[in-house]
């Protein structure tokens, strides 16, 4: 399939890119589970390696050949200059290409926990940048899976995927239910639940021996408000990162990296 040079921004084949919000893409009726945007050749490669399917690719002129090498001849590739593509999408394609991808069906949480030893549970984190950074740490340091609560931002949002450098597409993840059902699921799979929070009874991360637990779940809370009472009640241990100079906490993404490394 030859590369198509864009001449008309009203072309219906470009609808996936035409100033679409993440929410609109998620609800797109043209795909069974919605659509997400993979930004950059690296992220597209990781998405394809994870088994996700591309609907089309939008590429700056110089990156068309790179897009062809990644998706082959069966996926439409549209190309144009930077100003034209920015007019179409509403943002500058700094990384040369973006691809509209079909969202996969999310796995059952029990399926992810079956063989996992170290997992991360993210409760109500609102900022896609923070969530993407948490996934990047999970991928780099070695979490086996990530569970996100119903009110957590979507890992498939463009900014979350971009900040994670595509690790959102590599680290197995899914949505979980309310805390009673989540705790029952963790119990069934033998997980010790460690919540990262500032409470009077919190144990220093230096003193908590994660190695004694064959299966460990680290729970991270929302920016500012931290973990809910329900999350704390569902935890076995509350841990905190020891601080100096009167500082009591780190950004949730930074804290996740420190805690994951210590408990890995």
Q: Is the pLDDT of residue 243 over 80?
A: no
Distance, CA of 178 to chain centre:
20
pLDDT score, position 234: 96
Three-state secondary structure of 99-152: EEEECCCCCCHHHHHCCCCEEEEECCCCCHHHHHHHHHHHHHHCCCEEEECCCC
pTM (2 d.p.): 0.91
Q: What is the pLDDT of residues 18-28, one digit of tens each?
A: 999 999 999 99
User: Can you list the domains of the chain with their CATH numbers?
Assistant: 4-102 (3.30.1330.30), 109-263 (3.40.1280.10)
Distance, CA of 158 to chain centre:
9
Q: What is the pLDDT of residues 70-87, one digit of tens each?
A: 998 889 999 988 899 999
Predicted confidence band of residue 248 (pLDDT cuts 50, 70, 90) = low
């Amino acid at each position: 399939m030859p590369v198509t040079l864009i001449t008309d921004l009203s072309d219906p084949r470009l609808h996936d890119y035409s100033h679409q919000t993440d929410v609109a893409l998620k609800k797109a009726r043209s795909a069974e589970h919605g659509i997400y945007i993979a930004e950059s050749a690296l992220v597209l490669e990781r998405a394809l390696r994870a088994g996700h399917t591309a609907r089309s690719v939008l590429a700056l002129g110089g990156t068309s050949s790179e897009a062809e090498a990644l998706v082959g001849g069966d996926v439409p590739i549209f190309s144009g200059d930077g100003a034209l593509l920015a007019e179409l999408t509403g943002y500058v394609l700094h990384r040369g290409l973006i691809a509209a991808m079909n969202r996969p069906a999310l796995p059952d949480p029990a399926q992810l926990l079956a063989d996992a030893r170290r997992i991360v549970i993210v409760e109500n984190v609102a900022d896609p940048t923070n969530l993407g950074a948490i996934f990047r740490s999970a991928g780099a340091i070695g979490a086996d899976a990530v569970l996100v609560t119903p009110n957590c931002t979507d890992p498939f949002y463009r900014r979350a995927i971009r900040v994670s450098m595509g690790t959102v597409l590599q680290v197995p993840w899914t949505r979980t239910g309310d805390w009673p059902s989540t705790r029952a699921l963790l119990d069934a799979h033998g997980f010790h639940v460690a919540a990262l929070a500032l409470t009077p009874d919190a144990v220093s991360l230096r003193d908590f021996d994660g190695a004694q637990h064959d299966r460990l779940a680290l729970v991270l809370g929302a920016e500012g408000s931290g973990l809910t009472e329900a999350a704390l009640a569902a935890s076995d241990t509350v841990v905190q990162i020891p601080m100096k100079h009167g500082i009591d906490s780190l950004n949730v993404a930074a804290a996740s990296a420190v805690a994951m490394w210590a408990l890995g």
